[in-house]
């Protein structure tokens, strides 16, 4: 079975600026893949290429087996897309929005729309022109999910929402994914909230794919390490597989990216003889921030040496 979303050495340039280069990504059927990366990493560009809002400069992308540059109406009926800061049609209420969208989709499900409205605590009579950002985003999400999309492509679906609304939106996504096996590719900075939704994580940096792997595997190998006491000298070279060294009171803190098991590796003990070593499992957001800082530091160092 072909993966619903695939990119092959995908590249996109805007004049002299490279937004994507050589990105080969696969989103397996029925899985939720989180696309992470700093602002400007190329996340939004990648999602826009997938739905033919932008054309690739090199390589190709496929959605439900079709080249993204030639997507037919029958494919768009099976794909839900929400852009960052989604604009809505000029309608007055949530009910008006759903009525506007209904004719475009042969699989539109009023019962599902009603259930999602209840999950998201959103009334059909809610006014949209003067509604809150959260109300507009929840309305857009209902309109995006109510036709049983096989693939969901979401760009910062939680941006600017309050904590309660973010949880409600994730509940709505979980309901659809668990009930129907929907394939999801989403870009977001709200990793703490979305962590319970994701099966895989893919990281972009400066337009390139750094890694893609199951969230469970990522969590298994990442550890935050604090070294204090004798032998914990800031500025020393970090052991192999350790990144983002930062000075803390009485020692150093860093991210170990290839940890195995729950015991402190002998290599760490040898690198910091006599020191106290404290190891914790990081949240996805902590791991991403540390990894992003390390990549940025390496980039800036290489530019300085050039």
| Tens digit of each residue's pLDDT (9 = 90 or more) over 218-275 | 888 899 999 998 777 766 788 888 889 888 888 899 999 888 877 777 878 888 888 8
pLDDT tens for each residue of 71-91 = 999 999 999 999 887 788 889
The pLDDT, as a whole number, for residue 120 is 86
Rounded Cα–Cα distance for residues 240 and 29 (Å) = 35
pTM of the prediction? 0.89
More confident of the two residues 194 and 303: 194
Query: What is the pLDDT, as a whole number, of residue 130?
Result: 87
Q: Which residues lie closer than 8 Å to 78 by C-beta, 6 or more apart? A: 64, 149, 150, 151
Confidence label for 305 from pLDDT (cuts 50, 70 and 90): low
Tell how far CA 202 is from the center of its chain. Answer: 7
| For the chain, domain boundaries | 5-214, 218-305
Residue 54 has pLDDT above 90, yes or no: yes
For 261, list phi and psi in degrees, rounded to 5.
70, -160
Question: Which position has the higher pLDDT, 295 or 205?
Answer: 205
- Over residues 25-48, the pLDDT tens digits come to 999 999 999 999 988 999 999 999
**CATH of the domain spanning 5-214:** 3.40.50.300
The lowest-confidence range among 80-84, 175-179, 206-210 is: 175-179
pLDDT interval class at 289 (50, 70, 90): confident
Average model confidence (pLDDT) for the chain?
A: 89
Backbone angles phi, psi at 264, to 5 degrees: -65, 125
Q: List Cβ neighbours of 59 (8 Å cut-off, separation of 6 or more).
A: 7, 8, 9, 10, 11, 22, 23, 24
Per-residue pLDDT, 169: 82
The percentage of the chain sitting over the pLDDT mark of 70, rounded to a whole number, equals: 97
């Amino acid at each position: 079975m072909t993966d619903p979303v695939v990119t092959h050495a995908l590249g996109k340039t805007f004049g002299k600026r490279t937004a994507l280069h050589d990105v080969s990504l696969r989103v397996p059927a029925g899985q939720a893949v989180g696309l992470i990366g700093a602002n400007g990493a190329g996340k939004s560009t990648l999602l826009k290429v997938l739905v033919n809002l932008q054309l690739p400069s090199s390589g190709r992308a496929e959605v439900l087996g079709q080249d993204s540059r030639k997507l037919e109406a029958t494919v768009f009926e099976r794909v839900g897309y929400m852009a960052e800061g989604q604009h809505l049609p000029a309608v007055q209420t949530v009910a008006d929005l759903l009525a506007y969208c209904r004719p475009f989709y042969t699989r539109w499900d009023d019962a599902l729309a009603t259930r999602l409205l209840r999950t998201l605590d959103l009334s059909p009579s809610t006014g949209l022109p003067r509604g809150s950002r959260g109300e507009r985003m929840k309305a857009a999400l209902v309109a995006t999910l109510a036709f049983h999309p096989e693939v969901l492509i979401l760009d910062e679906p939680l941006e600017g929402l309050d904590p309660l609304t973010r949880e409600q939106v994730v509940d709505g996504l979980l309901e659809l994914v668990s009930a129907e096996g929907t394939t999801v590719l989403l870009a977001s900075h709200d990793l703490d909230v979305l962590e319970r939704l994701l099966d895989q994580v893919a990281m972009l940096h400066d337009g390139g794919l750094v890694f893609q792997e199951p969230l469970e595997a990522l969590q298994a190998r990442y550890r935050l390490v604090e070294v204090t006491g004798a032998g914990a000298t800031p500025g020393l070279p970090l052991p192999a597989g350790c990144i983002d060294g930062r000075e803390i009171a009485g020692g150093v803190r860093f991210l170990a990216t290839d940890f195995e098991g729950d015991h402190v590796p002998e290599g760490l003990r040898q690198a910091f003889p006599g020191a106290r070593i404290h190891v914790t499992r990081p949240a996805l957001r902590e791991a991403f921030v540390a990894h992003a800082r390390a990549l940025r530091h390496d980039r800036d160092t290489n530019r300085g040496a050039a």
